[in-house]
Amino acid sequence: MIAAKGVHKWFGTLHVLKGVDLTVEKGDVLVIVGPSGSGKSTLLRCLNLLVIPDEGDILIDGVKVNDPKVRPEWVRQQVGMVFQSFNLFTHLTALENVVIGLRKVKRMPRADAERIALRELERVGLADKAEAYPAQLSGGQQQRVAIARALALNPKAVLFDEPTSALDPESIREVLGVMMKLADEGMTMVVVTHEMGFAKTVADEVLFMADGQILERGTPGELFAHPRTDRARAFVSQVLG
């Protein structure tokens, strides 16, 4: 469904992605792990064209989308994103945060948009916080609203960029709970995370990235139990303790 082929990205002289390939099938959960600075977030941002690759292709359903003929806004409607720092619109209530995409991007009438938004908030367990502003919510609640905002547009896949890294343990459980439910429902997901427990139980495939390259890939069982490269072995022993 989503694929990257030979993706390169430079930030100035820094070679951040050095020819990355990946494929996610419909309904699969792909988890990307690796030390910080390895290019995980940049790769994820390439998939919805928040970062435009310098070389290589991003494909959605086999169609090359990093192409001047394809509007990046269209691509981003197909692929939702959840950020490490939530990035809820601070001047809008939880409900309005979810509504705005439906109204402005999908051009939906207000009543329909609010109905859908409330349903999405219910799905993440926050219907009672619809009228709260982001600053009045806990981190975990904010992140769940952010997930609802991404889901409301009915995307083909959702990208998660370290969605629990800024959260306390209780909020991490809340957010991971919502993500596991989503995975169960068959949502296609690409997740950059340090939550190895989540990777082990939910991932169909795990990629290990370092220095802008994918060094290993496999099922969580294979990769965590029998890492083949020294880098992966060191990383796995460190994060699994």
Partner 1 sequence: MILIRGAPSAGRAGRRRDATIVRSTGNLTATLVFIIVLLVVLDRLGAVSIPFMVQWWPFLVTPAATALGATTIAFVVGFVIAVPLGLVRAYGPDVVRRKAPASVVVAPLYGLTTGYVEAIRGTPAFVQILLISAAATRAFTGLPNVELWAGVLALTVNTIGYQAEVFRAGFQSVGQGQVDAAKSIGMRPTQIFVYITLPQSLRIILLPLTNEWIGLFKASALLWYVAVRELMWAGNYLGYTQVHPIEAFFLVAFFYLLIIIPLSRGVSYLERKKRIPGLGVPEPTRPRRAGPRPAASPAAPGP
Q: Which spans of this chain sit near partner 1 (rule: CB under 8 A)?
A: 48, 50, 72-74, 76-77, 80-81, 83, 85, 87-91, 95, 100-101, 104-105, 114, 118, 128, 130-136, 146, 149-150, 153
Tell me how far apart the alpha carbons of residues 241 and 225 are, in angstroms, rounded to a whole number.
13
In terms of CB distance, is 26 or 104 closer to partner 1?
A: 104
* Full DSSP string of 87-150: ---TTS-HHHHHHHIIIIIS---HHHHHHHHHHHHHHTT-GGGTT--GGGS-HHHHHHHHHHHH
As measured in angstroms, the least distance from the Cβ of 230 to partner 1 is 35
In terms of CB distance, is 187 or 206 closer to partner 1?
A: 187
| 42, two tokens | 């940049």
In terms of CB distance, is 159 or 223 closer to partner 1?
A: 159
What lies within 8 Å, CB to CB, of 130 at 6+ separation is 93, 94, 95, 117, 118, 121
Q: What is the CA radius of gyration of the chain?
A: 18
In terms of CB distance, is 105 or 239 closer to partner 1?
A: 105
As measured in angstroms, the least distance from the Cβ of 106 to partner 1 is 8
As measured in angstroms, the least distance from the Cβ of 150 to partner 1 is 7
In terms of CB distance, is 73 or 230 closer to partner 1?
A: 73
As measured in angstroms, the least distance from the Cβ of 76 to partner 1 is 4
As measured in angstroms, the least distance from the Cβ of 19 to partner 1 is 23
**CA angle at residue 25 from 163 to 187, to 5 degrees?**
45
In terms of CB distance, is 2 or 206 closer to partner 1?
A: 2
CA proximity to 207, closest of 196, 220, 198, 221: 220
As measured in angstroms, the least distance from the Cβ of 109 to partner 1 is 15
As measured in angstroms, the least distance from the Cβ of 130 to partner 1 is 6
| 240, two tokens | 């699994």
In terms of CB distance, is 48 or 171 closer to partner 1?
A: 48
Cα dihedral 229/232/235/240 (nearest 10): -110
What lies within 8 Å, CB to CB, of 227 at 6+ separation is 208, 216, 233, 235, 236
